[in-house]
Amino acid sequence: MSFVASTNKVAAIRLCRSTLGGGARKVVVPSAAVMPVAASSSSASSAGASAALWAQGRSTPKGTIRALAARPIPRRQVIIGGGVAGLATTAVMGSGGYAVNAAVNAAAAAVEAPVNAAMLRPAVAAISALKVGMKLADGKFEVMSVEEVPEYNVACVELLHLKTGARWMHCGADDPNNVFNVAFRTTPTDSSGVAHILEHTALCGSERYPIRDPFFNMLRRSLSTFMNAMTSADYTCYPFATMNPQDYTNLLGVYLDAAFFPKLSREDFLQEGHRLEFAKLDDPTSDLMIKGVVFNEMKGAMGSQSARFGRALGAQLFPTSTYHHNSGGDPVNIPDLTHEQLKGFHALHYHPSNARFFTYGDLPLEDTLLKSEELALSRFEQIDVSSLEVKDEVRLTAPNRVEVTVPAEAVVPDANKQSVVSVAYLMVNQIKDPLAELDNFALTVASDLLLSGPQAYFHESLLESGLGSGFAPGTGYSGSRRETSFAVGLKGVADADVDEVEKRIADTLAKIGVEGFPRERVEAVMHQVELSAARTTTSFGLGVAFGAMGTWVHGGDGLRSLRTPMLAAKLNAALDADPTFWQQLVKRRFLDNPHRVTVVGKADKEYDNKLDELEKHHVAAISAALDEDAKATIVKDAVALLASQDRKQDTSVLPTLIVAEAVPREIKRWGSQQGSTANGTPLQLDEQPTNGITYASVLMDVSTLPDRLVPYLDLFSDFITELGTAKRDYKDLAQFEKLTTGGIGAGISTAETLDGTGAPQVYLTLSATALDRNVPTMFDLMSEVVTSAKWAGEPARLGLLLSRRAASAGASLGPQGLSYAKGYANAAILATSDLDYRTGGFPHVAMLQRLAREKEAAVLEVQVALSEIAAHVLSAPKVMRCRIACQPGASSEVARKELDSFLGSLPTSSPASGDAATIASTLAAFTPKTSKAFIAVPLQTNYCAASYTTVPYTHEDSASLFLLGQAMSASFLHREIREKGGAYGGGASSSPVDGVFGFSSYRDPNTTATIDTFRRAVEWAATDGNLTPALLEEAHLKAFKMIDAPLAPQSRGSSLFSSGLTDDARQTFRNQLLDCTADKMRLAAEKYLIGKTPACAIVGGPAAVEAVRAAGWECLDAEGNPYKAKEA
C-alpha cells in the first residue's frame, strides 16, 4: 500500500541500474506519473527481489548504494498522466530522431516470446468486433465506445453499468499479464489523511473475508506480478496484475470485497491510522504515545526538504481546491481523524456510481464483468455523486509570493546557501479547456526542452549560473491532476540571490516567447517518443491503467495514455502549419498567465526537532486531561488490539493457488547464443522480439585499477557522457545523443562467484540502445565517447556536476535511509559490499561535500583521477565480454558488424599501474568485522538493518535460506514490525548471489527494539513446529511470483551475461526451491542465524542517539564521523 504524492517530477534525474548488465543510466522520472511502490511486508527490501531475478535469468548485479528504482512490471511504454511516452516510465533520455513513425511502431508485436500472432489475435479482435449500443454480461453493461489503437496492438472498449452508472474500460491485448484496477474519486477537505487511511483499512478484512489483512495474506497465496493499493491527490485505486487465470479470479473476488464491503473495524483503524498507547501497554503511568502505520508512514514520507517544499508548493498553487490538502495525511493532522469520519468517507466515496473500473489483457472480458456483477455491482443502485466533483481552482488575478519553512538537508557544502525558490504556474484544465489535448502534450515536450540535459534552457540560465546546487523540488510539468501545472526553481540558494533566480526564470521564458524552440531540438524529443512507443515493457497494462485515472475519474479521456503517437503527429502538423506555435503557447500558458506563485523555502535545522516537540506537547496535553476512565479505555483498546494481532487467523477462507498446480518445475530458457567478435572477444547474442530496438553492452575489467581511485569510480561512470568529447562540447553531445539513440550509459558493478570459491568480478558496463536504423550511429557515438571523452578541459562543467552531485547526495540520506543502513551493515561482512559502500555510502557523501566546498582544487583533483581511470580501463585488453539483444535477422547482422568496428576503435593497450594496492588485492584482503552503528540524520522515523553471512548461490542450503526469508517476513515480521511496532514495512530476505541474509524495517518509530525483533524472528524460525508445510507453500508462492515475473525481451539472458548464471545453475536452484521442506528452512535458520552476530545499522533521528549509545551502539553523523551532540 502506498501514498502517491502529486508533485512535478519530470525534470528530476535519478540513476538506476541497466537491465543489460548493471550499468548506470540517466533516467527521467515520469511527468506526473503515479509511481506505485510494490506492497509487501518488506516494502523497501531489495535483496530477495535481486536473488529472484538471478534465479529467473535476469540480473541486478551489485553496484553503488542507491535506492533501487521500482522495477517495471513487457509491452511498449506509454505516457502516464499526460507526459511524453519517453518520459513516462523508464525512458533513457539522451538522444533522438524526429516524428513518430507509426509503421515502425506497428512492425513488431510486443509479446513475451516469438509466437504465432494468429493464436493471440482474438484477444484484440474480440474487442474490435464490439459495437456501440451492444449489451454485455446478460444486459448489465452497455458499450459506449470502441477504439482500436494499432500503434500499441490493443483495442479498447468503454462500458456503462446500467444499474449503477459505473464506468468500465477494457483494453484487449495479446498479453497474458492481465490487469485489474478499480478507482474511486476521493476528494479530501483536510490533511487528516482520511483517503489514505481508508485505503489501508479497507484491506484489513471484509464481508466475505473477515480475517485480519486479507491483502497481505493474498501476497503469499498468489502469483501476482503486481498487487497494491494507492492514494493519489484526487483518487484512490486498487490494482493488481497476474499471468495466472485462476489467480486473476481469486484476486478479483478479494479486491472487490475489500473495496465495496470492508469491515472498517475500530481495531483496524487504530492499527493503520492512529491511536494513543502507553509505552508499557497496560501501565497507564508510563509515557503516552501516538502510534499508527499511516502516522509513521507519513512521518517518513514528509521527512525531507523535498517533500515538505513540494507539499507547500502544491498548497499555494491550489489555494481553494482539494489539491490544497495533503491527501496522504500530515502527521500533525492525522490524529484529528475519527473512526466515524473514516466510515462516512467510505460510504460517500466507495460506491460504483463513483467508480472507474479498468481491465487489460487476454482474458475474456465478459467473464470478468459477470463475476463483478455477481460479487459486488448487483447489490447497489445508482446514486448522485455530483457533490464529489472536484471544483475548478479559483484562478489568481495577480501573481502571489509566499515564504515557508522547510527542513534543512542532512549535509550541505555551504551553510549560507540553503534556501529553496520555485515559480509555479497553474495551466491546463484537462476537462474543460478546448485546447487541453494538444497543449498538454506540447507542454510536456516544452518541459523536456526547458529542463532535460545540459542543452536545456533552464540548465543554462539557472544551473550554470552557480546560484543554486540543483533544481528545486517539484520542478517540471505535472499532468496527473485535473488541472496541470509547471514549476521551476533552484535549491541551495543564498537568501540574497532569491530575487535573481526569479528574474532569470522570467527572462528565460520571455526569450522563448520571442524565439520559440529550434525545430531540431523538438525533433530530438520526438525521437524519444518514438523509442518509447517501440520499447517493450512488462508494465504496459499497468501504465495504461494508471495513466487513465488522472482525468478519467473526472469524466475526461480514459485512453489518453495511448494517444502519444497521435499527439506527436498532431504537434508536428501544428509546428508545420504555424512557425510561431511555441511562442503562442509560452505566451498563453506562461507570460500572460496571472496564476503564478513564487514559493521561497527557508531551511530550519531544528525543523524536525520542533515537530517532535510539538507532538510531545500535544501528547502531554492529552495525557494531562485524561481521567481514570479514559486511561482505562486506552489500556483496554491496546490490549484488545494486541490480542487481535496475536490471534490465529483462519486464512482458509481466502482463495489460494497450489504450488504443484501453478508452478512449473522447468525454468524459462532464453536461447542465448555464445560466440565471439571478430577480434575474439566473447559475445552473447540474445535474439528476441525487441520491436526494432537494439541493446548493446560491453563489460570492461576494473579489478586491476589502483585502489586509491575507488572513491572516484561512480563519478567516472556517471560523467562519461557529461563532459563532451574531442569532437563535440557537452551540450552538442547531449543533443546528438538524444537525437540518435536511446542513451549511452555506464555503471560500476560487482558480481560474486556463484560457488563462492573465486575472486569476485568488478567491471564497468558500457551500455547503449537505439532504433535499428540508428545502430551504426550508436556505436560510432560510443566509440567517440570512450576514446575521446573530455575528462579535462571543461572545469566549469565538472564543477557544476560535482555541486549537483553533492546536493543530491545530501538530500538522499533521509529518503534513502534504508539503502544506506543496509549498505553500511553489508559492508561490514562482505568485500564487494564494502567496495559499494566506499563508492556510494557515507564516505562518498562526505567526499562530495568536500569537493563541493573546495571548488577549483576539487575540479583539478577529480580531472586527474577520472583521466587516470579512463586510461586504465577504456582499452581493448580490458574488454571482458559483450552482449547484443535485438531482433533476429538483419538487425543482428548489423549490430555484430558495428560492434566489431567499435571494439577495433579502442586503444590497444593501457598504462601499467605502479600501485601495489588494487581493487582486486583489497577485496582479497577484506576481513569481516562486527558492526552496531547508529547514523544520525534529520528524520522522524528510522531505518533498521541487520545482515548475516550465509552461503553462495550454488550451495545446497541457498534455496532453503531464500524461502526462509519469505516465510519469516509473512508469518512473523509483518505482525511484529508493522502491525504491533507501527513501522510502514519490514521483513527478511536472502540474497543467494551475495551469500547474505538480511533483516530490515522501513519508516519505523523504533530503533533497538526492532533489532531485538529480528533476533526473536530467528529464534521463532529455529523453533520446531513454527515453520509448517502451509507456511512453506506460501513461501514458495511468494518466491516464484518474483522468479517467474514477466521479463522484457531485451533483458532475457542478461544474468548469464553479467554473472555467468547458466540455465543449469538456474534449474538446480529452482529444483532446490521446489524440493525444500519446512524442516530444511528450520535447519537453515538454526545453522546460519542462531548464535551468530549480525552486522547492524540504523539510520534515524538524532533524538534517539542518547538511548542507542547507552545500549552500546556506535553513533555517527551523516558523513560517517563520530556523532557530536549540538551545544545548547
Catalytic residues: 199
Task: Count CB atoms within 10 A of the CB of residue 176.
Answer: 18
Q: Three cell numbers at 393?
A: 481552482
Nearest Cα neighbor of 978 from 209, 5, 216 is 216
Return the axis-axis angle of helices 339-349 and 194-202, rounded to nearest 10°: 80
Q: Which residue type does 762 have?
A: V
- 3-state class (DSSP) for residue 303: coil
Helices 1029-1043 and 47-56 sit at what angle, rounded to 10 degrees?
A: 70
Q: How many CA atoms lie within 13 A of 763 on its CB side?
A: 26
**Which single residue is written with the C-alpha cell 561535500?**
849
Query: Which is nearest to 943 in space by CA: 821, 811, 1117, 1113?
Result: 821
Residue 676's CB is within 10 A of a number of other CB atoms, namely 11
Burial environment of residue 853 by CB neighbours within 10 A (0 to 12, 13 to 18, 19 or more): middle
Cα gap 205→211, rounded to integer Å = 5
DSSP 8-state code for residue 371 = H
> 430-468: string of b/e by CB count within 10 Å (b at 16+)?
bbeeeebbbbbbbbbbbbbbbbbbbbbbbbebbbeeebb
Helix segments in 411-496, DSSP class H: 436-451, 457-461
Using alpha carbons, select from 495, 221, 217, 251 the residue that is nearest to residue 363. Answer: 251
Strands (E), 186-246: 226-227, 230-231, 235-242
958-968 vs 1063-1075: helix axis angle to the nearest 10? 50
Cell digits for 669? 530458457
What is the 3-class SS of 1048-1117, one letter each residue?
Answer: CHHHCCHHHHHHCCCHHHHHHHHHHHHHCCHHHHHHHHHHHCCCCCCEEEEEECHHHHHHHHHCCCEEEC
CB-CB contact of 77 with 537 (8 Å): yes
CB-based burial label for 13 (10 Å; 0-12, 13-18, 19+): middle
Distance in angstroms (rounded) separating the CA atoms of residues 558 and 235 = 14
β partners of residue 227: 240
Q: Which residues contact 579 (CB under 8 A, 6 or more apart)?
A: 516
Residue 939: all three cell numbers together: 528524520
SS3 153: coil
Instruction: Count Cβ atoms below 10 Å from residue 1075 Cβ, excluding itself.
Output: 11
The C-alpha cell at 843 is 564516505
Q: Quick one: residue 349, left, alpha or beta (phi over 0 = left, psi -120 to 50 = alpha)?
A: alpha
DSSP string, 616-630: HHHHHHHHHH--HHH
Contacts 24+ apart (CB under 8 A), 269-272: 269/197, 269/201, 269/339, 269/342, 270/637, 270/641, 271/204, 271/641, 271/645, 271/979, 272/197, 272/200, 272/201, 272/204
Q: Which residues partner with 942 through β-bridges?
A: 1004
What is the spatial distance between Cα 1089 and Cα 1083, in angstroms, rounded to a whole number?
10
